Homo-oligomer: A and B are copies of this chain.
């Protein structure tokens, strides 16, 4: 990969300007009113791919948000790498905690700030620029496809059907994804496992209208009190999830593998300090990294009901709501878990309320074996730019589509992430260090090189 460092160095400011154009598009997939922005993002991506050297790039309609597909086929006999990424971003609430406009990116303290700076606009854009370099310097060693979707943050709802319908078009030997983080700055890692996800919205209805808490309080079940009671019953004092059958398909990781995982550097005091918590809390008998990597979780992502405005309103509300999610481990089926929760949650509802459970989305977990040639190519690429072999880690996050790719297309994915935990993805002040951005662009072409070499 000759001239790579020079190419990046000479085009630094242009790369940044182009990325900023992408970051300015408010492509929030979970909010219906941002639909036009999804189309703007899709149009932008076709331009990015064509400008970088793709033979073609086009926008595909789905029943939801559009999907962009582009490719450059140099020789049908050569292997094909498919880059998967997403152009949608998370909402920006709570907006008042941002120090700058989430959709007016800026560089401060060596970091790009803005919604999507890391997840996944910043990370996916590195692939466009690495591809541009290989094309322009005639060093592209294989065929490349780009699949950029617009619903990753809402569970990739329409992508499985798209994959079913375009199996030929999406045919590839490996899928390359940058949507994960490294352990720490200078300590590269490759995510070899992802948690699955089940996500529900629950509605608890008590009386048919908001009541005066004095006149009725004490005699009529309060749906907020009931919802709190029900949620508190979902986990026990040992941090175990109490849904019957929930752990049935969880494969206990061997002591040997747990020992290997424990070698990854981890500073628990630093972790607590960074989050400003006095004590960590999770399932008894597991370390922090195990709790997020190899064990499922149960989190209320949102709750609301009754009077939430200024001052004191004495009301016994009619309804209470919660958004609840479970991160699942490989081999737990998200649809089965979704059903188990619904069944259990409804079964523990007292007769004084009505409970409605809606499954919002889900995805399966994923495991990538570390003896895969593509994994080893990624390993060498990281080592080339960081001078350090990456650690294989299990991530707590979910990219539901990764396991779907394996099911439908029969292709493994390599999760070659360059994010950092301090990037505050999904949070106010999301950011992406410039160093990660440029080093990522440098590492990616080596993946292509080593991967193609391993195939010859």
Q: Which residues of A contact B (CB under 8 A)?
A: 29-32, 90-91, 93-94, 97, 153-155, 181, 195, 197, 199, 201, 206-222, 224-225, 227-229, 231-233, 235, 275-283, 288-289, 291-292, 295-317, 320-323, 325, 327, 350-353, 360-361, 395-398, 421, 424-429
Residue in B215, B222, B315, B395 whose beta carbon sits within 8 Å of that of A215 in the complex: B395
Determine whether the beta carbon of A218 is less than 8 Å from that of B93: no
- Distance (whole angstroms) from the CB of A229 to the closest CB of chain B: 4
| Partner pick for A207 among B210, B275, B306, CB 8 A cutoff | B275
Bound together, the chains give a CA A281 to CA B229 distance in angstroms of 14
Contact B280 A219 (CB under 8 A): yes
Smallest CB separation, A239 vs chain B (Å): 8
B308 adjacent to A304 (CB under 8 Å): yes
Q: Is the interface of A mostly helix, strand, loop or mixed?
A: loop
CB distance from A282 to the nearest CB of B (A): 5
Q: Are A217 and B299 in contact (CB under 8 A)?
A: yes
Cβ-defined contact, B327 with A279, below 8 A? no
* Inter-subunit contact A351/B218 (CB<8 Å): no
B residues in contact with A300, CB < 8 Å: 222, 224-225, 228, 305-306
Given contacts A210-B427, A323-B312, contact A304 B303 (CB under 8 A): yes
Question: B306 touching A208 by the CB < 8 A rule?
Answer: no
Distance, CA A222 to CA B235, complexed state (A): 12
Contact A292 B325 (CB under 8 A): no
Docked Cα-Cα span, A429 to B210, in Å, equals: 10
Q: How far is the CA of A276 from the CA of B398 in the complex (A)?
A: 41
Q: Separation in Å of the A367 CB from the closest CB of chain B?
A: 16
B-side contacts of A219, CB under 8 Å: 280-282, 288-289, 291-292, 396
In the complex, which residues of chain B have a beta carbon less than 8 angstroms from the beta carbon of A426?
A: 210-213, 313-315
Partner of A311, one of B227, B297, B325, B360: B360
| Residues in B whose Cβ lies below 8 Å from that of A201 | 312
Given contacts A208-B275, A209-B428, 15 further A-B contacts (CB under 8 A): A30-B312, A181-B215, A209-B429, A215-B292, A216-B292, A218-B291, A218-B299, A220-B277, A301-B306, A301-B314, A302-B313, A303-B306, A304-B304, A314-B426, A315-B427
Does B31 lie within 8 Å of A292, measured CB to CB? no
| Contact between chains at A281 and B221 (CB < 8 Å) | yes
A32-B310, A229-B232, A323-B308 known; A301+B317 contact, CB < 8 A: yes
CB distance from A70 to the nearest CB of B (A): 28
